[in-house]
Homo-oligomer: A and B are copies of this chain.
């Protein structure tokens, strides 16, 4: 492993607040996996062999069932993939697929669990990370149950980061975004059309919103993070 990778693992967001030797131990136990876009890091039903940390790139968590496939959430640099399955030593409920070329640090599951028991600061850091992700999932469940498709799209757009000029760059192709939002690509296309009256203009992956407060009202946006 390169010193650069070593450093990236030690300073990963998950470990914020932990003493330096925790990162060092994890980095020593880790091996690096490079994934090309489209490759799987693991698949649902497997027993977790590693805790995967994303060093660079972006991965989608994919759920399968009833003959279809959906995307639950996407994670980028600095995030850990499916800590719960690793912590509990249970079968994965989801698969992970690289959306773009990515590099992962794979920490043997057993080592991670052992360290979790031994290092209070690590356990504390994992609590924070799980709590954050928990709230992301809750928001998604609320969206799916309470909002119609176009409202979910509006909600999603309003939550995205903007550049200086207020433009949003979509982090994934629309086919995948559709599945993240719980609809078909066809319906997503129509949902974008529904948002045009609020000044939502999409050119490729760039999206602009001119009537933001109108859009907020349209989807009953909840800004709480």
A151 to B120, CA, bound (A): 42
Q: A145 interface residue, CB < 8 Å from B? A: yes
Kindly list chain B residues whose C-beta atoms are within 8 Å of the C-beta of A148.
Answer: 66
Residue of B nearest to A67 (CB): B220
How many angstroms between the C-alpha atoms of A127 and B80 in the bound complex? 14
The reply to whether B222 and A65 form a contact with Cβ atoms under 8 Å apart is: yes
Q: Does A70 contact B (CB under 8 A)?
A: yes
Interface 1/0 per residue, A114-130 and B, CB below 8 Å: 00110010011011101
Does A140 lie at the interface of the complex (its beta carbon under 8 Å from any beta carbon of B)?
Answer: yes
Residues of B within 8 A of A128 (CB): 87-88
Chain B residue with Cβ nearest A125: B123
Select A84's contact among B87, B123, B131, beta carbons within 8 Å: B131
A37 lies within 8 A of chain B by Cβ: no
Bound state CA distance, A189 and B68, in angstroms? 25
A141–B220 touching, CB < 8 Å? no
Among B117, B124, B138, B220, which residue has its beta carbon within 8 angstroms of that of A66? Answer: B220
Measured between C-beta atoms, what is the minimum distance from A172 to chain B in Å? Answer: 16
**Contact status A93-B145, CB under 8 Å:** no
Complex Cα spacing A145 to B225, Å: 23
28 pairs across A/B with beta carbons < 8 Å? A63-B146, A65-B143, A66-B219, A66-B220, A70-B145, A72-B138, A72-B141, A72-B142, A83-B131, A87-B127, A87-B128, A88-B131, A90-B225, A91-B224, A93-B135, A93-B138, A93-B139, A93-B222, A93-B224, A94-B142, A117-B124, A123-B123, A127-B130, A130-B134, A134-B134, A137-B141, A140-B141, A145-B182
Given contacts A123-B123, A130-B130, 9 further A-B contacts (CB under 8 A): A66-B147, A66-B219, A69-B146, A84-B135, A88-B135, A93-B222, A133-B134, A137-B138, A137-B141
Interface residues of A (CB under 8 A from B): 45, 63-70, 72, 83-85, 87-88, 90-91, 93-94, 116-117, 120, 123-124, 126-128, 130-135, 137-148, 151, 179, 182, 219-220, 222, 224-225
